Structure 1
Amino acid sequence: MKGRDRTVAEVLVAVAERAGCELYLTLFTIEESGWAECVGWNDFEIGEVMDWLAELHTWCSPDSHKLDFGPLPFEKERLCPPQVWNRIERQEPDFMEATGNEGASFERFYRGATLVLWPRGRTPEVLAGAPLDFALAYLETRLRDWGAAGRPEAERSALVSLFTAVIERWPELLARHSNQDRPLERMARLLKQLADPEVVAGFLERLAECGYRS
């Protein structure tokens, strides 16, 4: 970030810390596609959006450390200020003429940098609604920071809350998981690092309730 954007970011970092919020710098990507309507000779306009994807990725901490959180989907209503969406909609789409049995179509792609902010107390809610890769990567980062700080007991309860949120939603998170890695083994390694018998017992109970799946 440069100039005015950098100044705004520096102010937000201080305000977010004081307000007890998580703050990150990320890139965001928005992709739209659908069918288009021919309105003249070689002239098209958007007919209907059929597929829409918006996600945050390439995460950095306020102190410029890269974070391996992976992509996090978001809804356009989360953009602030809302007028940002108007700028995105002005992005000219790419139109494709009808070919064979397929009608005319369009694609639109937009990418930019943004600051992501949420109250720290709502982090369990964020993890419970995030893709499993994101949730596990976030837990890994928090555990690493906790270990580097000497595993202070005062921070254990916050970590337990995060693990509990992920464990409670484990079946849903696993159902949406599409990568080829083994999330159960990854979670087991994290639980070993946390070394909390009650959390481990809670995870085993959850596995028993929903059926074992690696």
Structure 2
Amino acid sequence: MIATKKREFNELMENIKIYKSIFLLGCSECAALCGTGGEPEVKAMKETLKSKGKEVTGTFVAKSGCQVLGTKAELKPFKDAIDKADCIMVMSCGAGTQTAVELYENKPVFPANDSLFLANMTRLQDFDERCSLCGKCVLDKTGGICPITRCAKGLVNGPCGGSKDGFCEVSKDTPCAWQQIYSRLMKLNQLHTLRELSQPKTKPVRPRRLMREDLKSKKEPTKKV
């Protein structure tokens, strides 16, 4: 999931200061879990904007804001409300905001949240960064623990030497990722996999795109005349 946090309200008001009417769009998945764009948050934002003299022409919480076609279909009943709005405020991650940008190219779109990282929800409302979406996974060599993300320095060839008592020198509250990797591999009798890590990671070329080849290669059924 994508972890998000609410932007400062004054910043939001600065973005929409020249607009009188707004349509609010939330997301029932990641943003809802983070408390930044579910039904309660969208409702609260509506009331806050109204108290500041803004007109909210409508609100909707998409099933999954990053799904362009799905969100497009869900928003069809709200066409009039969106047309009436001067701008759209999206209470989801950056992907959800850009869904609205793609669907409404003639309408200003503003994010209500800051996107932080790809997260694991370790317990209720606790989110930990575990993956950096680097495009070349090394988890099969590191016992399922990502050094690129969980090591403060992103080292892929072992610890830096600055850790103490199993904790990172950057923060005494952060476990040393390489200590965790070593301990897990030793427990699994797989320390030999560390010998396969030697090359530094390169940053992926952005923007990236993925197309499912299994669906792309399927031939459409021949239509009967």
| TM-score bracket for the superposition, by shorter chain length | under 0.3
Q: Give TM-score, length-normalised by structure 1.
A: 0.23
**Rg larger in structure:** 2
Whose strand proportion is higher, 1 or 2?
1
TM-score w.r.t. the length of structure 2 is 0.22
